[in-house]
Amino acid sequence: MRLILVGPPGAGKGTQAVQLASHFSIPHISTGDIFRLNIKGETELGILAKSFMDAGNLVPDSVTNDMVAERLTHEDAENGFLLDGYPRNIGQADFLKAVLEKAATPLDAVLEFLLENSEIIKRLSGRRVCRSCGATSHAIFEAPKVEGTCDLCAGELYQRQDDSESVIANRLAVYHEKTEPIISYYRDTGLLKSISAVGEVADIAARAIAALK
């Protein structure tokens, strides 16, 4: 199974990626992991990427593309893979298509997780972090026994700035503008399968597996 996961931030792609990778016995490949491994290993691409990051610039698509292409040559990806966080735009999607066509290993599906913006904001803005031990909880879904107090160490719980509703709304706006076009791109190829991302983790995973059969 060669699979891509798409969907807005907060839709649970990371959680479902773990479930699906295990079910299909394929590696979960995220761009974040690829970047960290290349930078930590001081590969040629990692050093190049770090030079852009250290200068406060975005890493160009060409570098990201080459990192992904190199990762797909690893032995564990021979029989399939799950890409999470890539491609993020049409240019990256075109590059990936060319790489896979050259290797005669086309995609099997692109799985889209559907979730309303209001639900995403509720999910992400409810996260609270303990100032003392760093444990996380959720104001709605995993509420502490005492409001504002960590269940583990009784430390103060706070909301990180990037979990504020205004920041989340901006992240969603960027997603809709920059990344959402690839959904139409893959819909036109007939590869797109869409499922609801509402519900328990196990229920969403079962929905995803059924859609991929």
**Domain assignment present for 128:** yes
- Please state, in angstroms and rounded to a whole number, the distance separating the CA atoms of residues 128 and 157: 6
pLDDT on residue 152:
95
CA 81, distance to chain mean position in Å, is 14
Decide if 65 is inside a domain.
no
> Distances in Å between the alpha carbon of 191 and those of 2, 110, 127, 183, 209?
11, 6, 34, 10, 15
Q: Which of 39, 31, 37 is nearest to 14 (CA)?
A: 31
How many residues in total does the chain contain?
Answer: 213
Asked about 88 being catalytic, the answer comes back as yes
Which among 2, 13, 123, 128 is annotated as catalytic? Answer: 13
Check which CATH number belongs to the domain holding 133 and give it.
3.40.50.300
pLDDT at 180: 87
Lookup: tokens for 15? 């959680």
Total structural domains in the chain? 1
Query: Predicted confidence band at 57 (pLDDT cuts at 50, 70, 90)?
Result: confident
Range of the structural domain that residue 155 is part of: 2-27+74-212
The answer to whether the CB of 195 falls within 8 A of the CB of 7 is no
Residue of 50, 88, 97, 122 with catalytic role: 88
The CA-to-CA distance between both ends of the chain, in Å, stands at 10
Is residue 71 part of the annotated active site? The answer reads no
How many Cα atoms sit within 13 Å of 152 on the Cβ side? 10
72-105 pLDDT, tens digit each: 999 999 999 999 989 999 999 999 999 999 999 9
Per-residue confidence (pLDDT) for residue 17, from 0 to 100: 94
Position with higher pLDDT, 61 vs 178? 61
